[in-house]
Copies of this chain bind each other. A is one copy, B any other.
């Protein structure tokens, strides 16, 4: 199969020297890619400069992106030419619009007018004691995947922090519903420590647990192979 795997975390620029980044080492995506290559799949890995990566090898293509915009334009053609998307990248929810000192915000009657402003400076000045950064929601890239390619198998990822299993599964199933994902790999940051990485591969009706990154990779790849045989 031709697998498209995303890993690492996107960065949204505030100016030319600062950005908002999502923490993501790229480790899990690297391990999934390595296991997939070992059992004979072709892998396209969409990742970031900072993320750890597999060694260059046969059947592996690596593409680097930076922000959500570049992720979206990179993924669209790739989604159309792959059988599976394993979307483990930590994607920024918000992107900076305008940053200013607290004074300007206080002096502005209708603060929604600030959402139309842009910073002219290449490096925003750091004179004010307090600054205010306005951010807008980024497009949900995962929601386009099945529109781009209705037959692709889509595995989304959901990382929450310190929630109950019930909430984790409910949020995962919302994402299945909204984005037409076949599976969501749901995990909680408090369950990721050293070699331990507890995660659940959730579909509409069931959830299967894995304990380490290697087990997660194995679980996903086995599930995909079953899906291919049945589908």
Contacts and interface: CB of A to CB of B under 8 A. Distances in A.
Of the four ranges (under 10, 10 to 19, 20 to 34, 35 or more), the interface on chain A belongs to: 35 or more
Contacts of A93: 126
Interface of A: 11, 14-23, 50, 90, 92-94, 97, 102, 105-106, 111-112, 115, 121-123, 126, 128-137, 159-162, 189
Nearest to A140: B126
A16 B136 contact: no
A137 B132 contact: no
A43 B135 CA distance: 41
A137 B126 contact: yes
Contacts of A162: 122
Contacts of A105: 111
24 contacts: A14-B20, A15-B161, A16-B161, A17-B90, A17-B161, A18-B21, A18-B92, A19-B21, A19-B23, A20-B20, A94-B126, A102-B112, A106-B111, A115-B130, A121-B161, A122-B189, A129-B136, A129-B137, A130-B134, A130-B136, A130-B137, A132-B133, A133-B133, A133-B135
